[in-house]
Chains A and B, each alone.
Chain A
Amino acid sequence: MNRAKKVVASVSTLLTRRTFYPSPTFRCDPLPTVSANSESHWSHESLQPSPSAQELRFSRRRFCSGSSDKRITVCWNCGFSSEKAAFLFCDSCRSIQPIDDSIDYFQIFGLERKYELDGGSLEGKYKDWQKKLHPDLVHNKSQKERDYAADQSAKVTEAYRTLTKRLSRAMYIMKLNGKHVNEEETITDPTLLMEIMELRESIAEANDSKELDQIRSQVQEKLKQWSDSFVEAFESHRFDEAVKCIQRMTYYERACEEIVKKL
């Protein structure tokens, strides 16, 4: 049994490494949430020594049934087993579930893990979640469940905030792909810095709201332009370039904030 577990562990890391690059929409997370039946199935597969790539692909497909969001979690309260990607709330017994760190913000809103979003759906889904998870609704329930409510509600709020704004969404999706936008590194790119310096100076020296509005629309155009560049760079896996796009966008966002403060 131990040997099977070890092989299973190594195969699963191989699998996760394979799923790292190509399809951001394909999500397969077999090990933690598998139910009893599939496990015996799995260990049977793994006993074969060094499975070939084809067999791996085959077993992965069988395991995940080709669907991107299949996972099985069980309610702590009533034992109801759910296949939902984001099982935060049990509809069967209406109890709130504990935090599962493997659920990412895109799954909470039932979205594909990509940068472009269709605008309207987020707010509606956010409100729907809060109607079920908000701490104000669980006063009569156990301390444990009240804690779950506080955590889940906070996570959903954080997810909503992160995904609504372009810049934070870009940084989050980079993080999900293991690329951290290095927060505290100093940059010395003279062209970018000169441009930002001049931009900030012009904001500081602007005398009336008309001028400020003009500057603001210029900056927002730049933001859109770099946002598009980010998408392009990200989808082509040019991650260093994507990071640079994010850095520029941060500067422009900051400039916009300054304009708003001044207005």
Chain B
Amino acid sequence: MMLRQAAKKALGLTSRQSTPWSVGISRSYHENVIDHYDNPRNVGSFDKNDPSIGTGLVGAPACGDVMKLQIKVDEKTGQIVDARFKTFGCGSAIASSSVATEWVKGKAMEEVLTIKNTEIAKHLSLPPVKLHCSMLAEDAIKAAVKDYKEKRLKTNGAAAAAGQTAQA
């Protein structure tokens, strides 16, 4: 909620600054970006200790952005059933992570690993200077999947060890 308000305020400021209608050069955000800003999908958090959740936490030090993307995986089918994000950064970074959460839902983990930043950038018509925001989103997806897999390995390993001791 806070993020959305802050986002709206920031957007209000930035669009005034970056869209000088009087000059006639419209360097404005693409409507897809504004859409994700005004109606951000999937903002929020999951409990990161939940075994069905994978958390990807990435940062872009050049601009001081942080992005957290979480996936909820159905452990039987390996499909991502839900996703959440929390991003502190520019409009393009927020929109990129919002798009990412939309695109991973309902897909298998292996499939989302093939989502490329260029596709996100194209969908949002990101200018070249903002391409790294889409890269950040791609990295966040990969980090979330990696985290989930590592968690599974740990729990499986623990379960196997417990099973062995039980048998013994």
Which residues of A approach B to under 8 Å, CB–CB?
Answer: 181, 183-190, 192-194, 196-197, 200, 204-205, 246-247, 250-251, 253-255, 258, 261-262
Interface magnitude class on chain B: 20 to 34
Q: Which residues of A contact B143 (CB under 8 A)?
A: 188
Partner of A251, one of B6, B57, B61, B68: B61
Whether B11 sits at the interface, judged by CB under 8 Å, is no
Give 1 or 0 for each of B82-99: 1 = CB within 8 Å of chain A CB. Answer: 000010100000000000
Distance A178 CA – B57 CA, assembled complex (angstroms): 30
Partner of A255, one of B10, B57, B64, B139: B64
Please determine whether B62 and A184 come into contact, CB atoms closer than 8 angstroms: yes
Which residues of B approach A to under 8 Å, CB–CB?
Answer: 2-3, 6, 10, 13, 57-64, 66, 68, 86, 88, 132, 135-136, 139, 143
Main secondary structure of the interface of B (DSSP, over half): mixed
Instruction: Give the shortest distance, in Å, between B62 (CB) and chain A (any CB).
Output: 4
Q: List 24 A-B contacts (CB under 8 A).
A: A181-B61, A183-B62, A184-B132, A186-B135, A187-B59, A187-B61, A188-B58, A193-B57, A193-B58, A193-B59, A196-B64, A196-B66, A197-B88, A200-B66, A204-B2, A205-B2, A250-B61, A250-B62, A251-B64, A251-B66, A254-B64, A255-B64, A258-B88, A261-B10
* Interchain residue pairs A-B with the least CB separation, the first 7: A254-B64, A247-B61, A183-B62, A200-B88, A184-B132, A186-B139, A204-B2
Q: A186-B139, A197-B68 are in contact. Are A204 and B6 (CB under 8 A)?
A: yes
Distance A146 CA – B3 CA, assembled complex (angstroms): 48
Q: Which residues of A contact B135 (CB under 8 A)?
A: 184, 186
In the complex formed, the residue of A with least CB distance to B2 is: A204
Please determine whether B64 and A187 come into contact, CB atoms closer than 8 angstroms: no
